[in-house]
Amino acid sequence: MKHLKNIAVLVMAVLLLSSCGSDYKKTETGLEYKFFVQNDGEKPNVGDFITIDMLYGTVDTVLFDSKKIPDGLTFPLDSPYYKGDLFEGILMMSKGDSASFKVSADSFYLIIARAPAVPEFITPGEKMTFEVKLKDFMSQEQKQMQDAAALETMKHDAEVQLKSYLEESNITTTALESGLIFIEEEKGSGRQPKIDEMVTIELVVNLLDGTKIFSTVDRGEPFEYQYGQKFDTDGLEEGVGMLRKGGKATLIVPHHLAYGAEAKGQTIPPYATIVYEVELLSMRSKEVYDKEREEQQAEMAAQQEVRKNSEKSLRDKYLADNGITVTPTASGLYFVEIEEGTGTQAMAGNIVKVHYTGKLLDGTVFDSSIERGQPYEFPLGKGNVIKGWDEAIAMMKVGGKATLVIPSDMAYGERDSGTIPPYSTLVFDVELMDVQPVQ
């Protein structure tokens, strides 16, 4: 298979090379063109949707081949961007035509591709060759009609799929007036949620074919939102409103209560039926919710203040317990040299490679390149790492080893980072593996 692929690439290259010969004609604007197949038929207009096969490249390199796209490229035909461009050539073609066009590589990249610069492999003044077959074209009105017909087919197919799903799953529950199919799996107790209350739910979202879209169960955290402030589909909102605390239900939401003709990314197609598994865990008023949030934020702020005020005493105790007596740098960094390096001195702007283990003062390891088996590489002095690292690594030579005690204001400060709490002094055991100048 690999050999066939290589042969295909070779054939394409030969086509490009053969196109570089003579027999090209030139328009008044300077576009060079040669037809392999030319019909005397209707030609596309600017704004029409065209479908083409296209291969292009330089004298010795194939840069793109649309034959990897089964149905070809379809896009609206623009008016020429400059005299002698590719679009001028396509406007000369009829359905079924095949032609070769030579255009300025500089202009193609800078004007049509809108690249910030011409690629280095392009020689100034070089021409690019485009092999184009015009497979079909249609007006904007025809394209809209085609798209509408395709959507109508998708809608019909989706409705057939829903009917088959209900039959195969032996679901006989009658749909509500809205079209929602509400299947109660477990009765709840108490009342139903009120508009603007904060509700907490477990939620699993699937398509009819079983494709999972989202799951609070998988992420290990329920979802909380303000009921009545729709965050997903009308069908989900209606279904949640029918539940009581502790209640569970399966909601089968047809497309008109879901996303309709709109696709959602690559996962949810137009006219998709959505299946929700939902459990109502709790309800509380917005006022209670806001008060709890304020209390939580106040508690977090108090905890952060305690951490901030205790950081120095905890750091001093760590230094004393570990016999670290070095004088900190002006920034507050403690640099404990374990083994002096004998290689190149690291300097700002170098690309450095470092092995490290990062720990909290209590010994908790939060990261280790050694465990990953891959040194960490970064440009020194460019702010790509915490300040303590930029300062410390610049004090080392290749082969050197050191322990760094880095105060929070040289690390993550008041922010938490994964398992690192706010206002944490960090300890790193580091080894400088390599230093390279920027290429």
Mean of the per-residue pLDDT values of the chain: 91
What does the chain come to in residues? Answer: 439
144 lies in a domain?
no
290 lies in a domain?
no
b/e 69-101 (16+ beta carbons within 10 angstroms → b): eeebeeeebeebebebbbbbbbbbbbbebbbbb
Please pick, among 130, 227, 335, 428, the residue that the annotation labels catalytic.
428
pTM for the full predicted model = 0.59
CB count within 10 Å of CB 39 equals 14
> Is the pLDDT score of 424 beyond 50?
yes
Is there a catalytic annotation at residue 412?
Answer: yes
| Chosen domain end from 282, 300, 334 | 282
Please pick, among 182, 227, 412, 423, the residue that the annotation labels catalytic.
412
Please pick, among 101, 271, 356, 423, the residue that the annotation labels catalytic.
356
> Is the pLDDT score of 431 beyond 80?
yes
> Is the pLDDT score of 364 beyond 60?
yes
Is there a catalytic annotation at residue 356?
Answer: yes
- Same domain flag for 114 and 169: no
Residues 6+ apart with CB under 8 A from 258: 233, 234, 235, 272, 273, 274
- Same domain flag for 30 and 133: yes
405 lies in a domain?
yes
Please pick, among 223, 366, 376, 378, the residue that the annotation labels catalytic.
366
Angle, vertex CA 437, rays to CA 433 and CA 439, nearest 5: 125
Structurally, the chain folds into a number of domains equal to 3
Residue percentage of the chain with pLDDT more than 70:
95
Q: Could you read off the pLDDT of 119-165 as tens digits, one per residue? A: 989 988 899 999 999 999 999 999 999 999 999 999 999 999 999 99
Least confidently predicted of 67-81, 202-216, 299-313, 424-438: 299-313
| Chosen domain end from 138, 164, 187 | 138
Is there a catalytic annotation at residue 109?
Answer: no
301 lies in a domain?
no
424 lies in a domain?
yes
Is there a catalytic annotation at residue 69?
Answer: no
- At 439, the pLDDT band (50, 70, 90 cuts) reads low
- Same domain flag for 6 and 132: yes
- Residue 17's pLDDT is what? 46
- At 390, the pLDDT band (50, 70, 90 cuts) reads very high
- Same domain flag for 160 and 245: yes
365 SS3 class = strand
- Residue 5's pLDDT is what? 42
> Is the pLDDT score of 20 beyond 80?
no
**Mean pLDDT of all residues in 344-358:** 95
Domain that holds residue 114: 2-138
- Same domain flag for 132 and 229: no
Please pick, among 367, 409, 429, 434, the residue that the annotation labels catalytic.
367
- Residue 10's pLDDT is what? 44
How far is the CA of 255 from the CAs of 156, 240, 252, 266, 274, in angstroms? 11, 18, 10, 17, 7
Please pick, among 52, 90, 274, 386, the residue that the annotation labels catalytic.
386
- Same domain flag for 110 and 162: no
- Same domain flag for 384 and 427: yes
CB 20 within 8 A of CB 59: yes
| Chosen domain end from 282, 317, 335 | 282
**Mean pLDDT of all residues in 230-255:** 96
- Rg of the chain taking only CA atoms, in angstroms: 33
Q: Which of 30, 15, 289 is nearest to 130 (CA)?
A: 15
Is there a catalytic annotation at residue 428?
Answer: yes
The domain that contains 169 carries what CATH number? Answer: 3.10.50.40
- Residue 301's pLDDT is what? 80
148 lies in a domain?
no
158 lies in a domain?
yes
- Same domain flag for 87 and 159: no
- Same domain flag for 316 and 408: yes
Is there a catalytic annotation at residue 181?
Answer: no
CA atoms within 13 A on the CB side of 98: 8
CA 8 to chain centre: 32
- At 22, the pLDDT band (50, 70, 90 cuts) reads low
- Residue 354's pLDDT is what? 97
Q: 177's torsion region: left (phi>0), alpha (psi -120 to 50) or beta? A: alpha
- Residue 220's pLDDT is what? 93
> Is the pLDDT score of 197 beyond 70?
yes
288 lies in a domain?
no
- Same domain flag for 52 and 168: no
> Is the pLDDT score of 436 beyond 70?
yes
- Same domain flag for 350 and 250: no
Q: Could you read off the pLDDT of 57-103 as tens digits, one per residue? A: 998 889 999 988 888 999 999 999 999 999 999 999 999 999 999 99
- Same domain flag for 243 and 323: no
Q: Could you read off the pLDDT of 92-115 as tens digits, one per residue? A: 999 999 999 999 999 999 999 999
- Residue 286's pLDDT is what? 85
